[in-house]
Structure 1
Amino acid sequence: MKYISRFVLHMIGFMISTLILYSCEDKSADVKETITADIIIYGGTSAAIMAAVEAKRSGKSVIVVSPDKHLGGLTSGGLGWTDTGDKSVIGGLAREFYQRIYKHYNTDEAWKWQPKSEYGNTGQGTPAMDGENRTMWIFEPHVAENVFEDLIKENEIRVDRDEWLDRENGVVVEDGTIKSISTLTGKTYSAKVFLDATYEGDLMAAAGVSYHVGREGKDVYGEEWNGVQTGVLHHKHWFQSNVSPYIIPGDSTSGLLPRVSSKAPGKKHDGDHKIQAYCFRSCMTNHEVNRVPFPKPEGYDPMQYELLARVFDSGWNEWFNKFDAIPNHKTDTNNHGPFSSDNIGMNYDYPEASYERRKEIIKEHEQYQKGLLWFVANDPRVPKSVQMEMQKWGLAKDEFVDNGNWPHQIYVREARRMVGEFVMTENELLKKSKTPNPIGLGSYTMDSHNAQRYIKPDGFVQNEGDIGVETNGPYTISYGSLVPKKNECKNLLVPVCVSSSHIAFGSIRMEPVFMILGQSAATAAVIAIDEKIAVQNVDYKQLKKVLLSKGQIIE
């Protein structure tokens, strides 16, 4: 019995020791490594890459945590017909990007499908290829992506791709300072300063920073061009003839056609939750060797495009007006007309939606736009002259090769916008009010695409929200629009979802400006780290001096 008791006690002790050992091993296995750098940049946009390059060249360790697999956002996602405005105010790393594009197209290898001499060299206000300044503003998507990848490789920048912020529990903030962020794969990143360089502003929002979604009312910032803009028809993206929105034309009892809202548009100048429409900037070609016929999307429904058929019936003939030419017989094809690639009214919940819901919205936009292309190329209601020409076009076989030749980035024209230390409004852009502490310039028209499609009192359909107002020359952008309020977060900069009103963002939102703001944000982050201060306390004179030394144009 004594022997058995000792044996039992020995076995119990062994089991307890083993359990303790395994328990310790399990706990150590659960401890996740925290990845540390001076600066963590969340996002894969053009602003993110420029910020990373600036940080690395300034001697700081930097990691780009990108939810995207492809770098460059819209610049590499189809927007090759660059919205530049006054090109003379684009400096620093942004100008270096366009100089690298120029260098590429000055090689024979760049012109695979078209002789360089045949390319028309047409850009927005200046030649596409500017020999004097050695810049090129018009380019193919894959060329832009290669430039971004070259910058990452040359500067030895770490990029963690397909890493999605845990928006619910992944941002640790203590005393107004972000300590770490975690992604859905379980990776945790710690830094002295963080940048949110996404189109959506997910890190900014998860950190508890104030933001706005939708159009502000006229009285919020004293703006003429904000809020609902019924009756304002600045471009050609509206119904120029009387088109019925009903299934049986003129019969309101027959029901509404798809993609028309039954709700009232709202009172002019009132604010609302609506945002300007999204689309894809599709890259097309009519070069047969490189052409992929437009695919018929699953679930295709020609009734979704009945409004376009009625627009064609009215005599409208501008379908090809925004097939903007980029090199090698390709286009950057943008929205044009009353019913086009802009998927009006179908994106309102995108800015704050879950990842799964955003995927659904993006998929619906893709199906809509692919169906639109199929409709024009195949439906018998389309005028023969338009259809015969459309059938010569297709998607470019050598673009977006891992995504069925379809852009990997939807055009998020606006989502969240921070409400930070300073809010940019139309008054600053129109030079009615002075902009404090400028760190870059913009110059493009205040450009908002349509936000809704509604029924007018006379029973016909109309679009609303498309605004184009000249800024009458370049304008400065305030450093205060890149930083949150100090009592909210002291180590975050936001170079894309900047602090601005809806209509001011309509100009600021251009890709060259995002590159400029990305570099300026990183420059400020470096100073904040060196001086061990909050980003709001960065000395502007010092920041200005450094920016100017790096070729940034700020006034």
Structure 2
Amino acid sequence: MRQAEAVVYGATSAGVCAAVAAARRGLDTVLLEPGQHVGGMTSGGLGYTDVGDARVLGGMAAEFRQAVADAYGVAPGHYAGPEPHVAEEIFLSWLERAGVEVVSGAPLGEVVTAGDRIVSAGDFAAGVFVDASYEGDLMAAAGVSYRVGREDRALHGERFAGRREVVPGMHNFPPWISPFRADGTLLPQVADGPMADVGAGDGGVMSYGYRVCMTTAPDRIPFERRPGYDEEHWELGRRLFHHWRAHGVEPRAGRLVGLEPNLPGGKCDGNSLGPFSLSVLDRSAWAYPDADADGRERIRLHHLHHAQDLLYFLSHDPEVPAAVRAELSRWGLPADEFADTGHLPHQLYVREARRMLGETHLTEHDLVQGRAWPDVIAMGSYHLDIREVQRTWREVYEHPDPVPMVVTEGYLSVAVPPYRIPYGAIVPRRSECANLLVPVCVSASHVAFSSIRMEVQYQMLGHAAGLAAAQAAGSGKAVQDVDVTALQEELRAAGQVLSL
């Protein structure tokens, strides 16, 4: 059994910041990562970092921003984010300089608790633990309460909670596209079963996908046909392009997968844009948060194959407009990114999974109204950003008979003012666990989490969790009894922004 002072589970950007912050304070710190890479989405494809109001960036998020600028010899903010391999190099250098012991290929293992404390996770024991995973696995194994997916609108009185109205928009399907084959069976990529009532909770999570790094460099890896590629799987896309063609719509390749050189080196961070994108909308992600390892791997491969096959479909299928195919043919996967994972990202974009029910539970109201929490440890500012939750179908009651149509549901974007995030949102309820901090699966409603979930917020919350872990380990106090005033002073000294 390896005895450390602090164990951080999950080498996401929050996990790296938590481990480095604790180690800089002198703690013997171990960072456990089930995969082989550090940085989570920051190094796993999400290069174009959503910031919101840059004035709220401080602490280790600002330190990372400066490190990116230094790596390219530009001013901070010149690039919205680094190339994936540069992000990982920055994080690895931080970990090495801080003296963090990084253990890769380390699944969580058995979590042993005694009373209200975690004793060990697998072969690693510590006085204080940080769950920085996107899934919240350590938190759940320790018996900490959580929720998954959309709650009912009535639970917190949130205007934007629950199932959304199906309305026109950039991410929705145009009308009149049938979800059925000629034999009456449902097309692939369309979820079956009724939607919940508008405003009702249904447990649905935001769609997952892969943020694919692409380039036009001469040594790019072309989009190739994967063994197992299924022509019929893309019939829905063909129907969409046929509909657009019939209505005089000429889609641009850049508006389908985000072909904009928004990263250094002429690379782009492919995003999920429009009604048919890198996001997988068949509800398969809904099962991911509580699935076992085998179930998650099946879901991950389903999403990975979707990304590979979508890029091949858009660049090769004769039903795709020629202009789209021609533009996609100029792009490919970078030869110098993700070499050990077939040049596709090592990280599935888990937009949300479990969300803790902690000491303080943030809701839509707290963000919209900018509540002044006295125990503030970081600030956020990005709009409420709920990505599509499902693609399904419904009958539209036209004369003389109802007409079945494909619909996409869940997308929402609502601006909020800069807001404070309290310490109580990253600690469990006192009765459930006294030595755990949770800077990713924070205590928030589905709506509130949709803004907090940005990588820069994870970096700042990870920073705060690492310093709180150091204080708890040094004093033997429960994390709920950490001196928040002292924590705030230390955060301010490190450049964290706690008010505007």
Using structure 1 for the length normalisation, give the TM-score: 0.85
Q: Which amino acid aligns with 2:62?
A: R
Residue in structure 2 matched with residue 27 of structure 1 by the alignment: none
The structure 2 residue matched to 1:467, chosen from 390, 409, 412, is 412
1:482-538 CA-to-partner distances (Å, cap 9, x unmatched) read 000000000000000001111111110000100000000111112222332110111
Residue in structure 2 matched with residue 213 of structure 1 by the alignment: 148
Q: 1:54 to 1:135 in 2, by over 3 A?
A: farther
Q: Which amino acid aligns with 1:292?
A: I
Q: Which amino acid aligns with 1:291?
A: R
Q: 1:230·1:265 contact (CA, 8 Å) conserved in 2?
A: no
Asked if 1:324 corresponds to 2:264, the answer is no
Q: 1:241·1:314 contact (CA, 8 Å) conserved in 2?
A: no
Greater relative CO (CA pairs within 8 A, separation 6+)? 2
Residue in structure 2 matched with residue 28 of structure 1 by the alignment: none
Q: Which amino acid aligns with 1:173?
A: T
Instruction: Tell me, in whole angstroms, the C-alpha distance in 2 between the residues paired with 1:391 and 1:134.
Output: 31
Q: 2:370·2:418 contact (CA, 8 Å) conserved in 1?
A: no
Distance apart, 1:318 and its partner CA: 3.8
Distance apart, 1:232 and its partner CA: 4.4
Of structures 1 and 2, the larger Rg is shown by 1
Asked if 1:171 corresponds to 2:111, the answer is yes
The structure 2 residue matched to 1:68, chosen from 28, 35, 46, is 35
Between 275-284 and 238-247, report the one with greater CA deviation.
238-247
Residue in structure 1 matched with residue 386 of structure 2 by the alignment: 448
Residue in structure 1 matched with residue 314 of structure 2 by the alignment: 376
Residue in structure 2 matched with residue 337 of structure 1 by the alignment: 274
Instruction: Tell me, in whole angstroms, the C-alpha distance in 1 between the residues paired with 2:252 and 2:177.
Output: 17
Instruction: Tell me, in whole angstroms, the C-alpha distance in 2 between the residues paired with 1:232 and 1:504.
Output: 22
Moved over 3 A (4+): 133-136, 432-436
Instruction: Tell me, in whole angstroms, the C-alpha distance in 2 between the residues paired with 1:468 and 1:232.
Output: 13
Distance apart, 1:165 and its partner CA: 0.8
Distance apart, 1:138 and its partner CA: 2.2
1:164-213 CA-to-partner distances (Å, cap 9, x unmatched) read 012xxx1111110111111xxxxx11111100000000000000000001
Between 374-383 and 483-492, report the one with greater CA deviation.
374-383
Q: 1:319·1:336 contact (CA, 8 Å) conserved in 2?
A: no
Q: Which amino acid aligns with 1:448?
A: I
Residue in structure 1 matched with residue 174 of structure 2 by the alignment: 240
Distance apart, 1:433 and its partner CA: 4.6
Instruction: Tell me, in whole angstroms, the C-alpha distance in 2 between the residues paired with 1:390 and 1:103.
Output: 32
Distance apart, 1:261 and its partner CA: 2.1
Instruction: Tell me, in whole angstroms, the C-alpha distance in 2 between the residues paired with 1:295 and 1:201.
Output: 35
Give 3-state SS (helix, strand or coil) of 1:255's partner: coil
Residue in structure 1 matched with residue 211 of structure 2 by the alignment: 281
Residue in structure 2 matched with residue 505 of structure 1 by the alignment: 449
Give 3-state SS (helix, strand or coil) of 1:402's partner: helix
1:143-184 CA-to-partner distances (Å, cap 9, x unmatched) read 101101111112221101100012xxx1111110111111xx
Give 3-state SS (helix, strand or coil) of 2:42's partner: coil
1:206-252 CA-to-partner distances (Å, cap 9, x unmatched) read 0000000110111111101111002245x51111343221223xxxx
Residue in structure 2 matched with residue 552 of structure 1 by the alignment: 496
Q: 2:79·2:264 contact (CA, 8 Å) conserved in 1?
A: no
The structure 1 residue matched to 2:355, chosen from 414, 417, 423, is 417
Distance apart, 1:436 and its partner CA: 4.4
Between 534-543 and 135-144, report the one with greater CA deviation.
135-144
Q: 2:378·2:461 contact (CA, 8 Å) conserved in 1?
A: yes
Residue in structure 1 matched with residue 401 of structure 2 by the alignment: none
Residue in structure 1 matched with residue 399 of structure 2 by the alignment: none
Instruction: Tell me, in whole angstroms, the C-alpha distance in 2 between the residues paired with 1:83 and 1:152.
Output: 24
Q: Which amino acid aligns with 1:262?
A: D
Distance apart, 1:554 and its partner CA: 1.4
Give 3-state SS (helix, strand or coil) of 1:428's partner: helix
1:117-151 CA-to-partner distances (Å, cap 9, x unmatched) read xxxxxxxxxxxx5x3x5764322110101101111
1:24-61 CA-to-partner distances (Å, cap 9, x unmatched) read xxxxxxxxxx2111111011100011111111111211
Matched positions, count: 483
1:252-281 CA-to-partner distances (Å, cap 9, x unmatched) read x62211111221111011001211110101
Give 3-state SS (helix, strand or coil) of 2:113's partner: strand
Q: Which amino acid aligns with 2:277?
A: S
The 5-angstrom pairing of residues 4-153 of structure 1 reads 34-106=1-73, 131=75, 133=76, 136-153=79-96
Q: Which amino acid aligns with 2:409?
A: E
Q: 2:425·2:442 contact (CA, 8 Å) conserved in 1?
A: yes
The structure 2 residue matched to 1:386, chosen from 324, 348, 351, is 324
Q: 1:483·1:536 contact (CA, 8 Å) conserved in 2?
A: yes
The structure 2 residue matched to 1:264, chosen from 183, 194, 204, is 194
Residue in structure 2 matched with residue 301 of structure 1 by the alignment: 230
Instruction: Tell me, in whole angstroms, the C-alpha distance in 2 between the residues paired with 1:420 and 1:135.
Output: 37
The structure 1 residue matched to 2:102, chosen from 134, 140, 159, is 159
Q: Which amino acid aligns with 2:405?
A: F
Q: Which amino acid aligns with 1:439?
A: I
Between 490-499 and 369-378, report the one with greater CA deviation.
369-378
Between 201-210 and 347-356, report the one with greater CA deviation.
347-356
Instruction: Tell me, in whole angstroms, the C-alpha distance in 2 between the residues paired with 1:304 and 1:335.
Output: 18
Q: Which amino acid aligns with 1:92?
A: G
Instruction: Tell me, in whole angstroms, the C-alpha distance in 2 between the residues paired with 1:134 and 1:380.
Output: 41
Give 3-state SS (helix, strand or coil) of 2:127's partner: strand
Residue in structure 2 matched with residue 400 of structure 1 by the alignment: 338
Distance apart, 1:392 and its partner CA: 1.4
Q: 1:81·1:324 contact (CA, 8 Å) conserved in 2?
A: no
- Which runs of 5 or more structure 1 residues have no equivalent in the other structure? 1-33, 107-128, 183-187
Q: Give identity over the alignment, percent.
A: 41
- Which runs of 5 or more structure 2 residues have no equivalent in the other structure? 397-403
1:339-395 CA-to-partner distances (Å, cap 9, x unmatched) read 111001121111111111111111111111211111111111111111111111111
Give 3-state SS (helix, strand or coil) of 1:387's partner: helix
Residue in structure 2 matched with residue 225 of structure 1 by the alignment: 160
Q: Which amino acid aligns with 1:156?
A: G
Instruction: Tell me, in whole angstroms, the C-alpha distance in 2 between the residues paired with 1:134 and 1:453.
Output: 36
Instruction: Tell me, in whole angstroms, the C-alpha distance in 1 between the residues paired with 2:469 and 2:389.
Output: 35
Q: Which amino acid aligns with 1:410?
A: L
Distance apart, 1:453 and its partner CA: 1.2
Give 3-state SS (helix, strand or coil) of 2:140's partner: helix
Distance apart, 1:435 and its partner CA: 3.4
Asked if 1:476 corresponds to 2:410, the answer is no
Residue in structure 1 matched with residue 462 of structure 2 by the alignment: 518
Q: Which amino acid aligns with 1:179?
A: V
Residue in structure 2 matched with residue 26 of structure 1 by the alignment: none
Using structure 2 for the length normalisation, give the TM-score: 0.94
